[in-house]
Amino acid sequence: MGSREDLEEQLVAGIADALKMDIDERGKASLLVSGGSTPKDLFQKLSEADLDWSKVFISLVDERFLPDGHKDQNGTMVKSLLLQNQAADAQFVPLVNKADDLKANLHQAKEDVKQLPRPFTVVILGMGGDGHTASLFPQAPQLDLGMDLDSKEDLIMTEPITAPYERITFTRKALLDTRHLVLHCYGADKKEVLNEAMRQKTYRPYPIEAFLHQDLAPLEVHWTE
């Protein structure tokens, strides 16, 4: 088992290689990232990667419905840690632009994300201690909608119930439309949840199960203590 720093360096190398390949093949690339505390150091390391960031579109797998610059907004962290250094030239596509109007924001976000190259180049998922990923929470009334592989929606609004703030999240179907699907998490508690989710045959009570047991975009699990 390697250190967190070793894991992050390996992840940065893999993500950068994937982005470069798509830039070479398609002329552009896309990266969806997660919020939370886990990816902070990864973002800082990734921001130094040597590639043509001006051809990379970056967005989030989910976002809290908060005004731009709010300390709890995922986008605030992405701007301060990832969209720096070499990656300052990347094209950021936020999920919240109209924090005073949930319905109008969802409509605008659906239009904005159409500029992201599909399939996505890399999607980096995180995981909470309850097994949620993106904003697909176990208790959210919208969980089934978010997990539906027949859904025509890329984005939906969710109410976590067990966590603060309403959220906007990509659906499972949209997140699986990627060339590289990565789960990045740390700690013995997360490993226990992952092991338990692997034994399940349904995404309740652990939504991450729906990403572990599928073959549309095999999940690369990057975990260490």
- Per-residue pLDDT tens digits for 96-144: 999 999 999 999 999 999 999 999 999 999 999 999 999 999 999 999 9
Parallel, antiparallel or unpaired: strands 155-158 and 167-170: antiparallel
Please give the Cα distance from 106 to 57 (Å, whole number). Answer: 19
Question: Residue 147: its pLDDT value, please?
Answer: 98
For residue 146, the one-letter residue type is G
CATH of 4-224, one of 3.80.30.20, 3.40.50.1360, 3.90.1310.10, 3.40.50.300: 3.40.50.1360
Mean pLDDT of the chain: 97
Percent of the chain with pLDDT over 90: 99
pLDDT band of 21, cuts 50, 70, 90 = very high
Please, what is the end-to-end C-alpha distance for the chain in angstroms? 8
Full-model pTM: 0.98
Q: Omega of the bond prior to 67 within 30 degrees of 0, cis?
A: no
Q: What is the mean pLDDT of residues 181-207?
A: 97
pLDDT band of 158, cuts 50, 70, 90 = very high
Question: Residue 39: its pLDDT value, please?
Answer: 98
Question: Residue 80: its pLDDT value, please?
Answer: 97
Question: Residue 159: its pLDDT value, please?
Answer: 97
| 134-to-17, 55, 80, 200, 216 alpha-carbon distances in Å | 24, 25, 20, 19, 18
Question: Residue 6: its pLDDT value, please?
Answer: 97
Strand order, beta sheet including 29-33 = 91-92, 56-60, 29-33, 120-125, 178-186, 219-224
Beta bridge partners of 33: 60
CA dihedral 155, 102, 160, 198 (to 10 degrees): 10
Q: What is the mean pLDDT of residues 149-160?
A: 97
Are 137 and 143 contacting, i.e. CB atoms less than 8 angstroms apart? yes
pLDDT band of 69, cuts 50, 70, 90 = very high
How do the residues of the chain divide into helix, strand and coil, expressed in percent and rounded to 5? Answer: 40, 20, 40
Report whether pLDDT(1) > 90: no
Q: Is 15 exposed, middle or buried (0-12, 13-18, 19+ CB in 10 A)?
A: buried
